[in-house]
Amino acid sequence: MSNSTGRLIVVSGASGSGKTTLCDRLERDYNCEYVVTATTRAPRKGEVNGVDYNFYEPDEFERRERAGEFLEHAIVHGNYYGTPRKSVESALARGATLILEIDTQGAAQIRNSKIKHTNLFIDIPDMATLEQRLRGRKTDAEETIAQRIARAHSEIAEGANYDFRVVNDDLERAVFEIAIKLSLTKKK
Ligand code: 5GP
């Protein structure tokens, strides 16, 4: 895949690292666009199809995957997630700076491909903060929270494979550090 004009930034972090909020802020304040990815998990309260995710039934996801529609895909917490190849390619072709927020398995697939990109890992200050954030979200069941905490340990270890790491201890500070590290330009 040629992406000579645009720029692809892959962002991962432990569940509860606040990476979605960070990416939203980057999109709001800097010249970059968020990639809407696909999932088979149920929408959370307030999530909109086509805005937060493209929500598919598992058979539809599998059909699209077989048709080669995803740049990468993975199973996360028992659901499929995948990056739509077409929307990434067309945005890069028109010169966009893209923020692709995906899990560490997906990021590894992109790292092992020929796709030119930079990757960034969002760290949490400590495990107690992660637990607090997951519970504070009040969207996930206790079993899901426990699953996410267990997974966070292995996700954090994966951070060593990324070009950049930023600790999300304070939203404003972390956004600023990311913008500097990735040379993002402020929106006018
Ligand atoms: P959530 O269900 O909390 O929105 O996301 C769960 C995890 O799936 C997060 O780590 C998120 O970064 C990841 N994710 C979202 N979209 C994709 C995708 O297209 N591919 C992969 N591999 N992971 C994704």
Domain ranges for the chain: 7-181
Please choose from 23, 76, 113 the residue to mutate so as to test ligand 1's pocket, defined by most ligand atoms within 8 A of CB: 76
- Say if residue 133's pLDDT is above 90: no
Q: CA 14 to CA 74: how far, in whole Å?
A: 15
Comparing 1 with 90, the larger pLDDT belongs to 90
Q: CA 22 to CA 43: how far, in whole Å?
A: 20
Domain boundaries 7-181, corresponding CATH code: 3.40.50.300
Q: How confident is the model at residue 58 (pLDDT cuts 50, 70, 90)?
A: very high
Nearest C-alpha neighbor of 37 from the set 4, 9, 71: 71
- Mean local confidence (pLDDT), 113-139: 88
The H or E element that residue 142 is part of is helix 142-158
- Mean local confidence (pLDDT), 97-109: 96
pTM of the prediction?
Answer: 0.91
Q: What's the length of the chain?
A: 188
- Say if residue 4's pLDDT is above 70: no
Distance of CA 123 to the CA centre of its chain: 13
pLDDT of residue 14: 81
Q: CA 26 to CA 179: how far, in whole Å?
A: 8
- Mean local confidence (pLDDT), 132-137: 82
* Residue whose CA lies nearest to ligand 1 atom number 20: 82
CB 147 within 8 A of CB 77: yes
Whole-number average pLDDT of the chain: 93
Please choose from 49, 71, 81 the residue to mutate so as to test ligand 1's pocket, defined by most ligand atoms within 8 A of CB: 81
Of 63-77, 123-137, 151-165, 171-185, the least confident: 123-137
